[in-house]
Amino acid sequence: MPFAEAGLEKLARETRKTLLLLHSRAGTSHIGSAFSSVEILVSLHNGILAKEDVFILSKGHAASALYAVWDSCKIGGAPLDGYCRDGGVLHGHPDRLRCPGVAASTGSLGHGIPIGAGIAFARKRDAKKGRIFVLASDGELQEGSVWEAAASAGRLGLDNLAVIVDANGLQAFEHTENIMPFSTLEPKFLAFGCAVETVDGHDFGQLAKALGAVPFAPGKPSVILAKTVKGKGIKEFEGKLEWHYKSPAAADLERYLLELEET
Amino acid sequence: MRAAFAKTLLGLAEKNPDIFLLTGDLGFSVFEEFKARFPLRYLNCGVAEQNMLGMAAGMALEGKTVFVYSIIPFLLYRGLEQIRNDMCYQRLPVKLAGVGSGLAYGTAGGSHHAVEDIGVMTSLPDMAVFAPGDPLEAARLTEFSLSLETPCYIRLNKAGDAVVHTTETIAALEPGKPAKVFGGASRNVIFAVGNMVPEAVETAKLLKSRGREFSVYSVHTLKPLDEESIAGILRSSAVVATIEEHAARNGLFSAIAGVAAKNCIRAAIYASALPDSYSHEVGSRQYLRRLYRLDRDSLAEKLYAVKEGG
């Protein structure tokens, strides 16, 4: 493993540890969705996102992962002890008017890509620099607004827009495969005028290569289909629907933290 | 009124390079000039309202002043969550300009009618709601909308609206405050909203010819509602009437009744509004207005029968 990747692995481990503590303390849901996004978020915040770039977490239910990555990567943001606490600053879904660093408030699925397309369009008109990265979930792609935005971004040639799909295969009450199979995603995005790359969403090398290559093709929005595992990092969580909802019990924390150390 | 809006927008865009117009594939014979003069600040988003509204919010995040135009039900309801989450929750000053208030699209049928939009939009926190009563109010309120830091909805009628304001009264118009558009110091008052303002003025003229004096106020701003000035008018009134091409529930009647209740003002408010049921009658706006007794003759007849203090 190259030295840089080893550093990122460490950051990912730190992030997951923080997430265990955050979710356990606050008793909040969506730790599985947060865990599947960790490598993607760590990659974005290490050498990908430039000052003029914008990041929108369209899968707003993974907000804790964004906060935890900010913390691990020593990037501003708000103190983690305010996460889902009375009077705190960090909501379960990101609120740009409450938490500094949040580009767009999300929480309901299917909103981030149209907003990102609007930012990308305005930037094109102003000939302004910067890429707009939007992280969406695979379940989110069932929203019609995603495809309205994809068609629109395609025909407007918004190559300053990049959509990353955290394809963890599990949505709130079903395997995503039973509703919108993964194999249908690439042809759909291609047909809508986007350029598509598929990567292992836990592999820092593949992520860096794909994210660094945005835009993939001039005049086309980039789509990165990142295959991930829901709950990645703790065997007990991995691929389990209930970890969309459960939070780690305090009594189990030590065991989970140890598991992270050993991997 | 639609033409007044388009002309005003053109003038504003001339001065402000950050003004953009997004349309959901509507605006034939309305926006050709805008499109020709500002091709880079015009975007037909196609028949895809959710994305159009989300994009408008994204553009507002980049500091753009975005007007979004469509027929009212398509503009507001298809992407209501985009309006709520992307604009209101994020306090982004996007301007929603909806055309076809009330029964303006008469024979098109109920899918195109806007009979509950004031209720829906005034219910959204951080949303301002304007319903201009004539082309001059439409122009004035469109200009005013630029000063807002939160989103707004401008409820436009279609075409052929009578002008109820004079140069003086429009110059004196204060956004937020009901504008007196007819009558002297009468103790009888009609509050009217949007497309019903000219009809209310005609109603008052008919009543005057029969010896009953009513003044008419255009409640062009539903939110924020200037409760103080409305309470002042209510306190000095003997007969209070509301006229709207909208459902009474959560429309103008509810707004005025709320001010009366909050200020302990005893007043019977004679509401003229659309029924709490979608219309399935085929007909022009004039036909439908007569059917629902929102035409000047029916309104005058109803109000003539109301006794002062009764």
The secondary structure of residue A158, as a DSSP letter, is -
The predicted pLDDT at position B295 comes to 98
Q: Which of B53, B62, B90 sits opposite A119 (nearest CB)?
A: B62
B25 to chain A, any CB pair closer than 8 A? The answer is: no
The predicted pLDDT at position A4 comes to 80
Q: Which CATH superfamily is domain A3-262 in?
A: Thiamin diphosphate (ThDP)-binding fold, Pyr/PP domains (3.40.50.970)
Nearest to A40 by CA among A113, A137, A105: A137
Residues of A in contact with B59 (CB under 8 A): 118-119, 121-122
Nearest to A112 by CA among A83, A84, A137, A92: A137
Average pLDDT over residues A16-25: 97
The interaxial angle of helices A31-43 and A3-26, nearest 10 deg, is: 150
Query: Is 90 exceeded by the pLDDT of residue A5?
Result: no
Nearest to B218 by CA among B244, B240, B188: B244
| DSSP per-residue letters across A7-75 | HHHHHHHHHHHHHHHHHHHHT-S-HHHHHHHHHHHHHIIIII--TT-EEEESSGGGHHHHHHHHHHTT-
Nearest to A254 by CA among A20, A14, A11, A16: A20
Query: Is 80 exceeded by the pLDDT of residue A8?
Result: yes
Query: Which domains are delineated in chain B?
Result: 2-156 (3.40.50.970), 174-304 (3.40.50.920)
Residues of A in contact with B62 (CB under 8 A): 118-119, 122-123, 126
When scoring B18, B22, B61 by the number of chain A Cβ atoms within 10 A, the one with the most, hence best to mutate, is B61
Residues 96-115 of A with CB under 8 A from B: 96-97, 103-108, 110-111, 113-115
The predicted pLDDT at position A3 comes to 74
The count of CB pairs under 8 A between chains A and B is 93
The predicted pLDDT at position B309 comes to 59
Work out the minimum CA distance from A240 to partner chain B, whole angstroms: 30
The predicted pLDDT at position B101 comes to 97
pLDDT in tens, A64-81: 999 999 999 999 778 899
Interface contact flag, B58 A104, Cβ < 8 Å:
yes
Nearest to A35 by CA among A228, A182, A252: A228
Residues of chain B with pLDDT under 50: none
Residues of B in contact with A118 (CB under 8 A): 54-62
Partners of residue B67 on adjacent β-strands: B21, B95
Work out the minimum CA distance from B51 to partner chain A, whole angstroms: 5
When scoring A95, A102, A128, A145 by the number of chain B Cβ atoms within 10 A, the one with the most, hence best to mutate, is A145
The predicted pLDDT at position A1 comes to 65
Residue A52 — pLDDT band, cuts 50, 70, 90?
very high
- Considering chain A, what percentage of its residues have pLDDT values greater than 90? 95
When scoring B44, B49, B55 by the number of chain A Cβ atoms within 10 A, the one with the most, hence best to mutate, is B55
Q: What residues contact B152, with CB distance under 8 A and at least 6 apart?
A: B93, B95, B96, B127, B128, B129, B130, B145
The predicted pLDDT at position A153 comes to 98
- Domain coordinates of chain A in residue numbers? 3-262
Interface contact flag, A117 B89, Cβ < 8 Å:
no
Query: Is 90 exceeded by the pLDDT of residue A42?
Result: yes
Query: What does the block give as tokens for B161?
Result: 């609206």
Q: Scanning every residue of chain A, which has its alpha carbon at the shortest distance from the alpha carbon of B50?
A: A145
pLDDT in tens, A84-132: 999 999 999 999 999 999 999 999 999 999 999 999 999 999 999 999 9
The predicted pLDDT at position B44 comes to 98
Residue A2 — pLDDT band, cuts 50, 70, 90?
confident
The secondary structure of residue A88, as a DSSP letter, is -
pLDDT in tens, A152-179: 999 999 999 999 999 999 999 999 999 9
What DSSP element (H or E) covers A82? none
Interface contact flag, B48 A151, Cβ < 8 Å:
yes
Interface contact flag, B61 A115, Cβ < 8 Å:
yes
Q: How far is CA B251 from CA A102, A250, A252, B123, in A?
A: 36, 52, 55, 10
